[in-house]
Structure 1
Amino acid sequence: MAETKTRATAASVDDFIAAAEPPQRSEDAKIVDAMLRRVTGETPKMWGPTIVGYGQYHYRYDSGHEGDMCRLGFSPRKTQLVLYVLTGAEGEDALLAKLGKHSTGKSCLYIKKLADVDMGLLEEIARRSLACMKEKYPI
């Protein structure tokens, strides 16, 4: 069975965020980091080389594959911020409809600039996601 590549590492979150390009991405990443620290009460760790993660949970699929992953996270990529905060929690679609300029993937929220979104709604999405994750994966 394939081994999980994305694991918690000892790499510096602060150094990773400071090195994000362009410079505005680094500034936006600092704001997201502060928000997710507040929402989760967790000190972040690097998960693999590119994901800043908060908290941890253990998953096991029907196939037998299992592993650990961060409960919430983000990655300040060159073209956009990727937030790993979408769970399909009740009310999530309504909040996304009012959030501002963004796109979504399966569990990802893509934002080009934080100035394009309502930060209060973004924080509420993160809070609901965390609650959903804690319910689904209590440990």
Structure 2
Amino acid sequence: MDINKMINPSREIDPSVYAYIIPQYPPKEGWVKIGYTNREPQVRIDEQSRTIGVATKTLWYHFARFNTGEYFTDHDFHAYIEKHKIEREPKTEWFNFGPGKEDESEELFMKFTFKKYDDVQKGMTSSYELRAEQEKA
């Protein structure tokens, strides 16, 4: 047995976030599954499709990395989605973008990877008050 064939120490792991829908299943109309994998995203989506026994449609997949190079997980992106008031099915990775609006999930992903948080920070205020000398500075 050649151990070099069993272990590939130079294989890079590039985690990805992926999104898919179940087009022929009315109860999930408008809902988008957003997951995370360290493997090929389409392979993971196909596995889940077989598990649930219905055809899925891949919307998109991208590396789980900010434009600055840092990595993130799907939990980080899920929190960002929730801050945009997108309904989440409890304890799942399913988000209700609404029928015909599923592609907005990718737009949100792109904003997230470029750290565009201004739309979720609008209206946020702080009760902190500057001291007089800080105010003058």
Band of TM-score, shorter chain = 0.3 to 0.5
Larger Cα Rg: Structure 1 or Structure 2?
2
Higher relative contact order (CA 8 A, sep 6+): 2
> What TM-score, normalized by structure 2, do the two folds share?
0.35
> What TM-score, normalized by structure 1, do the two folds share?
0.34
Larger strand share, 1 or 2: 1
